[in-house]
Amino acid sequence: MTPAAPDDGARPPAVRSPLHAPGTGAGKTPPRQTRSGKSRPRRTRPGKPRSHLVSALVGILLAASTLRALVTPVGPLLSTLEAETGAGPEALGVLTALPVLGFAVVSPFVHAISTRLGVERTVVLGLAVIVAGSLLRTSSSSAVLLLAGTAVLAAGIAVGNVLVPVLTKRFFPDHAPGVTGAYMAVQTVVAALAAGLVVPLHERTGSWQVALGVWVAPAIVALVVWLPRIRGERRRGGPDPAVATAGRAPDDEPAGGPADDVATHHPGDAPSPWRSAVGWQVATYFLLQACVFYLTITWVPSVSVDLGFSETQAGWQIFWLMMFSLVATFGTPRLMQVGGDQRFVAVLLPVLVPLPLVGLVVLPGAELLWVALLGTSCGGSMVLSLSLISLRTGGSVAAGRLSAMAQSVAYSGVVLTLLAASALRDLTAPGPQVLWLIGAMAAAQLLVGLVVGRDRRIAAGPTSAD
């Protein structure tokens, strides 16, 4: 039995502008210590680091904008889709579960694919699949094509889910929480607009295909931006040198520190998160917050209609939920520094959930307050979960493995939870019962937060118990 690895005592990185990564500004860079203890000046990075970082940041933000906007509009349109496609309750249950099922099935393979093709090429492949899936699901009024297209685009979204945190770790290792908050903000705004405008678009155009299909536009724009990067890589005959060095100390010393040298630069020897207690803690927290989020955006609109709200009002509830999630993406990185680790924020966020669930039933007139609390919890929890992938690893290879594991575990659990919620509604008839399931997930998230918030990393070594 391998003894537990000691805590490396690393502190969460300060939240600073992502464009002020070490080594990107003017002026002299202080010398560093080599492993032999001698001091020598740092080498400058090749190329134009600042322009590469700006380009990388724009690419990350655009890729992130595609990851929810094709999922959030479905909930407010469920009754319309049932009426116009002939899909029954069972098919609608499958439709709501298909995106996260795709995430669960595809996520474990994304790291291997990106290792073979390169991260940028894999991102382009994922964006192309998203576009193809969206066009397929809106190509006719067929329930079969609706389901098939949703499955295809879910596979593409899974690629982005895994690789956007990896790109963040690679380019901005010392600013991961700040960059994570930025791309979550963009993702949230686009998803909120999609949820809020999908019903008015359907009412204006009379076509659910148009109302859903228009949200493929961010994926097309992101694809246009990412394509030149892989063309440039092909002309140079290799990967972008900034990709290999951005945010990383020279001489192959990883930004995360010497302890993660193996994980960062020798993929075959990188620690496996599947055999790590810290890895499972991150995956479980990711699972529980994802269950709260997807149950909320999928079933709260239906519950709101049960409680007397119109479909349009229910759609705008999700819009405001996402907008308050946006506010949380800016505040959460700062809260992650309270107390020297992430336990405070990991517990605080799920605490916000139970009150609005009861409030929606008992005092529906205060819907904006309840939606604000739910949105703050969902948005903050997502930022924290994604940031933990970077904070609990030392290099981009290790982050990629943990990202793939956490999202595979999380979305597998979300699929089962969504199917359970659908079965619960079938058994109990319309009503607020699904809200109590959301509350149970939040309570479990709180308990796991007490553990995952401790300042630890996945230790180097193939069988670490952390």
Supply the pLDDT for residue 232: 56
Supply the pLDDT for residue 443: 95
Interval 389-417 mean pLDDT: 84
Supply the pLDDT for residue 118: 87
Supply the pLDDT for residue 358: 92
Residues 82-103 have pLDDT tens digits of 888 887 777 877 888 888 888 8
pLDDT of 29 over the 60 cut: no
- Give the domain ranges of the chain: 50-452
Tell me which CATH homologous superfamily contains domain 50-452: MFS general substrate transporter like domains (1.20.1250.20)
Supply the pLDDT for residue 466: 54
Residue 20 banded pLDDT, cuts 50, 70, 90: very low
- The answer to whether 138 and 152 have CB atoms below 8 angstroms apart is no
Residues 432-461 have pLDDT tens digits of 888 999 999 999 999 999 999 898 888 654
Q: How far is CA 432 from CA 99, 303, 435, 437, in A?
A: 24, 6, 5, 10
Angle formed at CA 288 by CA 426 and CA 259, multiple of 5 degrees: 155
Q: By C-alpha distance, which of 453, 26, 18 is closest to 247?
A: 18
Residues 327-339 have pLDDT tens digits of 887 888 888 888 7
Supply the pLDDT for residue 354: 92
Q: 145-153 long-range contacts, Cβ below 8 Å, gap at least 24?
A: 146/81, 146/85, 146/87, 146/95, 147/91, 147/94, 147/95, 147/98, 150/74, 150/95, 150/98, 150/99, 150/102, 151/98, 151/101, 151/102, 153/70, 153/99, 153/102, 153/129
Supply the pLDDT for residue 58: 84
Residues 182-209 have pLDDT tens digits of 887 888 888 888 888 888 999 899 888 9
Bridge partners for 40 per DSSP: 32
Residues 138-158 have pLDDT tens digits of 988 888 899 999 999 999 999
DSSP characters over 288-301: HHHHHHHHHHHHHH
Supply the pLDDT for residue 231: 67
DSSP 34: -
Supply the pLDDT for residue 5: 45
What is the spatial distance between Cα 241 and Cα 72, in angstroms, rounded to a whole number?
A: 37
- The answer to whether 279 and 458 have CB atoms below 8 angstroms apart is yes
Min mean pLDDT across 19-33, 111-125, 330-344, 368-382 is at 19-33
Which residue stretches of 307-395 are H helix? 311-335, 343-351, 354-362, 367-391
What is the spatial distance between Cα 413 and Cα 392, in angstroms, rounded to a whole number?
A: 22
Supply the pLDDT for residue 350: 95
Which residue stretches of 172-216 are H helix? 176-205, 208-213
Determine what percent of the chain is predicted with pLDDT higher than 70: 78
Residues 97-132 have pLDDT tens digits of 888 888 888 888 888 898 888 888 999 999 999 999
Determine what percent of the chain is predicted with pLDDT higher than 90: 23
Residues 226-266 have pLDDT tens digits of 888 776 555 544 444 433 433 333 333 333 333 333 333 44
Cβ-proximal residues to 244 (8 Å cutoff; 6+ apart), any chain = none
Bridge partners for 33 per DSSP: 39
pLDDT of 18 over the 70 cut: no
Interval 63-79 mean pLDDT: 85
